[in-house]
Amino acid sequence: MAFRGVDYLLIDSQFSEQELMVRNTARRFVDERAIPLMRDCYRDGRFPRELIPEIAEMGFLGANLHGYNCAGMSNVEYGLVMQEIERADSGLRSFVSVQGALVMYPIHAYGSEEQKSHWLPRLQSGQAIGSFGLTEPGFGSNPAGMLTRAVRDGSGWVLNGEKTWITNGSVADVAIVWARAEDGIRGFLVERGTPGFTTSDIHGKLSMRASVTSSLALSDCRLPDSAMLPGAKGLKGPLGCLSQARFGIGWGVLGAAMDCYETARAYTTLRRQFDGKPLAIHQLVQEKLAVMITEITKAQLLALHCGRLKDMGKLDPAHISMLKRNNVAIALDCARASRDLLGANGITDEYPIMRHLSNLETVKTYEGTDHIHALVIGERVTGIAAYK
Ligand SMILES: Cc1cc2nc3c(=O)[nH]c(=O)nc-3n(C[C@H](O)[C@H](O)[C@H](O)COP(=O)(O)OP(=O)(O)OC[C@H]3O[C@@H](n4cnc5c(N)ncnc54)[C@H](O)[C@@H]3O)c2cc1C
């Protein structure tokens, strides 16, 4: 069934025709092609790889990048695409985020001309898949402590270390691996099949089941100098990529929240209890729907304002922390309230709510946890860093 949208405050009037056209293209694709697959993919723990060519064809991979066959969308258009894709599933949106914000963006921003012209058209068209290796078994929230080392060897490099919780890890043709070199943290393009580079999947996930998550091992992995991203030195390299991805998440989770809200709204108007009356007749039920639509509306305005600031070049990482932290939190609250309103039916995968709820637990943790973003905001307003 076609999604009619969630727009309590006439926010659609703030979008241009072009923005609405991009959103509607993404919306149609999600309704017709993605949603029909997601329940079974989630059950089977399978990433719907067959959707990649269509996603690429619509320009959604690296959508807000310019040149090298990228669509050159505005950041608001890109955000609306993320919103629609996450309405299908956070795992599908994770694929698009990693490919665009964490793989294509660093190559675009920090890569050599040779790296850009080789990889960007392939990644944009979905011919190649990428992954982003920052997290290590002992270093998640604090990537500055990473143990993976890159040591100079003649004209090239030797990498040793381990990365874990890496989205797309085992299906990627190229991994952006962040490692500590003598002059600071550096990013490397490690191609699948490079001797000394292996991947293994993480099993037993009860969240993000339609997304591939892997560990990467680097054991005396030799790379030519041309594999290093010349424009990234220090932690600001990977953090710059994370800002791009977190912006997309701030929009994406709106899609999951809207799907939960709309499912609960429709269900409570149909489901009858006590004298054959619909659940929605009860004040306690209406209060839950009122809170949800209010929070979604505030989150939509936050996302739109951040998108406009980003298009003006004025959005900074502390702004993005507020967007990511708030919108993930309200999406989780909406998923929990919706699950409750569906009663027992809410726990089945006949409805999308429990899947969104489980996925959103990951989204709360990755790309900077809720706590870490609170500390970024805290540092902005007090001038005091409280991470340690
Ligand atoms: C499905 C999935 C996909 C992922 N994909 C990727 C990927 O593609 N690439 C990648 O590099 N990583 C990826 N990650 C890893 C993710 O970014 C990390 O899990 C995240 O950064 C948190 O690190 P951690 O799990 O080690 O938790 P920890 O850092 O151990 O944190 C655990 C808890 O302690 C809290 N905490 C930690 N430090 C502080 C502090 N100073 N103050 C207050 N509280 C604190 C945290 O907020 C959290 O609640 C993925 C994770 C998942 C689950």
Q: What is the pLDDT of residues 303-312, one digit of tens each?
A: 999 999 999 9
- Closest atom of ligand 1 to 370 CA is 47
Ligand 1 centroid to Cα of residue 102, in Å, is 16
378 lines ligand 1 (CB under 6 A): no
Distance of CA 72 from the midpoint of ligand 1 (Å): 31
What separation in Å is there between the alpha carbon of 140 and the centre of ligand 1?
4
Cβ–ligand 1 contact at 98 (below 6 Å): yes
Output the six-digit token pair for 297: 């509306």
Pick the residue whose CA is nearest to atom 19 on ligand 1. Answer: 366
Closest atom of ligand 1 relative to the 178 alpha carbon? 11
Ligand 1 neighbourhood includes 241 CB (under 6 angstroms): no
Q: Is the pLDDT of residue 152 over 80?
A: yes
Is 328's C-beta closer than 6 angstroms to any atom of ligand 1?
A: no
Residue of the nearest CA to atom 37 in ligand 1? 141
Judge contact between 22 and 80, C-beta under 8 A.
yes
Which atom of ligand 1 lies nearest, measured to the CA of 134?
Answer: 11
Ligand 1 midpoint to CA 123 (Å): 26
For residue range 273-289, what is the model confidence (pLDDT) as tens digits? 999 999 999 999 999 99
What are the CB-based long-range contacts (under 8 Å, 24+) for 342-351?
A: 342/263, 342/264, 342/267, 343/271, 345/267, 349/39, 349/42, 349/43, 351/263, 351/267
Atom nearest to 205 CA in ligand 1: 1
Would you give the distance in Å from CA 214 to the centre of its chain?
16
> How far from 67 is each of 70, 78, 144, 240, CA to CA, in Å?
5, 16, 32, 19
Question: To 10 degrees, the CA torsion angle through 131, 327, 335, 205?
Answer: 20
User: How far is it, in rounded angstroms, from Cα 111 to Cα 232?
Assistant: 8
Distance from residue 135's CA to the centre of ligand 1 (Å): 8
Q: What is the pLDDT of residue 363?
A: 98
Instruction: Kindly tell me if the per-residue pLDDT of 1 is higher than 80.
Output: no
Quick check: CB of 146 below 6 Å from ligand 1? no
Pocket flag, ligand 1, residue 303 (CB < 6 Å): no
CA–centroid distance, 106 to ligand 1, in Å, is 21
Q: Which of 84, 86, 136, 367 is catalytic?
A: 367
What do you get for the CA distance between the two ends of the chain, in Å? 49
Tokens at residue 228, please? Answer: 């290093």
DSSP-derived letter for residue 43 is H
| Residue 240: predicted pLDDT | 97
208 lines ligand 1 (CB under 6 A): yes
List residues bridging with 215 in a β-sheet. Answer: 200
Residues in a beta bridge with 286: none
Q: What rounded mean pLDDT belongs to the chain?
A: 98
**Average pLDDT of the residues in 104-131:** 98
Summarised one tens digit per residue, pLDDT across range 352-380 is 999 999 999 999 999 999 999 999 999 99
**DSSP line for 153-178:** ETTEEEEEEEEEEEETGGG-SEEEEE
The whole model's pTM is what? 0.98
Where is 37: in which H helix or E strand?
helix 35-44
Gap from CA of 34 to ligand 1 centroid (Å): 28
Please report where in the chains the tokens 């009619």 appear, as a residue.
4
Q: What is the pLDDT of residues 177-222, one digit of tens each?
A: 999 999 999 999 999 999 999 999 999 999 999 999 999 999 999 9
CA distances from 198 to 41, 138, 141, 152, 161 (A): 25, 19, 24, 21, 11
Q: Nearest-5° angle of CA 362, CA 90, CA 317?
A: 70
pLDDT at 227: 98
Atom of ligand 1 nearest to the CA of 372: 47
User: Which atom of ligand 1 is least distant from the CA of 375?
Assistant: 42
Model pLDDT for residues 44-95, shown as the tens digit of each residue: 999 999 999 999 999 999 999 999 999 999 999 999 999 999 999 999 999 9
Q: What is the pLDDT of residues 300-355, one digit of tens each?
A: 999 999 999 999 999 999 999 999 999 999 999 999 999 999 999 999 999 999 99
Length of the chain (residues): 388
262 included as an active-site residue = no
- Output the pLDDT for position 72: 98
Q: Within 13 Å of residue 381, how many CA atoms lie on the same side as its CB?
A: 8
The dihedral formed by the CA atoms of 119, 120, 121 and 127, expressed in degrees to the nearest 10: 60
Asked whether the beta carbons of 194 and 219 are under 8 A apart, the reply is no
372 lines ligand 1 (CB under 6 A): yes
Dihedral Cα 199, 355, 246, 187, nearest 10 deg: 0
CA angle 333–5–54, rounded 5-degree value: 100
What the block records as the tokens of 212 is: 């591939």
